[in-house]
């Protein structure tokens, strides 16, 4: 299993738009083959900074998702709301 953490910074007036996109699509992500868990976290010191935290069965499963129509659709709705580039990490528990 791997954990994927994506840190995103949004335009302050687009926070609600992003939360709506995430909530509208959470079940699509969670239902994708290989996804074991997905949640959204908000930074306590910066209201416009969010993290997605997801568990995947393997790096390959994550890559299949990242090259899917589902990802392209959700990412297309999300990236237009950013105010700076996102950061992402794939990690595993030790």
Check whether 69 has a pLDDT greater than 90: yes
Of 51, 49, 47, nearest to 88 by C-alpha is 51
Question: Which CATH topology does 2-91 take?
Answer: Alpha-Beta Plaits (3.30.70)
Q: Which residue has the tokens 């868990």?
A: 37
Q: Residue 88's pLDDT is what? A: 98
Domain ranges of the chain: 2-91
Report residue 8's pLDDT band, with 50, 70 and 90 as the boundaries: very high
Mean of pLDDT over the chain: 97
pLDDT of 93: 86
The contacts of residue 63 (CB under 8 Å, 6+ apart) are none
Rg of the chain (C-alpha set): 13
Q: What is the pTM of this model?
A: 0.94
pLDDT of residue 74: 97
> Are the C-beta atoms of residues 34 and 65 closer than 8 Å to each other?
yes
- pLDDT by residue (tens digit) across 12-55? 999 999 999 999 999 999 999 999 999 999 999 999 999 999 99
């Amino acid at each position: 299993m791997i954990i994927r953490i994506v840190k995103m910074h949004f335009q302050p007036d687009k926070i609600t738009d992003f939360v709506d996109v995430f909530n509208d699509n959470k079940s699509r992500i969670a239902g994708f083959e290989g996804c074991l868990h997905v949640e959204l976290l908000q930074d306590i010191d910066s209201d416009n900074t969010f993290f997605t935290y997801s568990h995947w069965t393997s790096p390959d499963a994550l890559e299949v998702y990242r090259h899917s129509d589902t990802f392209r659709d959700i990412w297309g709705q999300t990236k237009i709301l950013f105010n700076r580039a996102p950061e992402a990490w794939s990690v595993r528990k030790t």
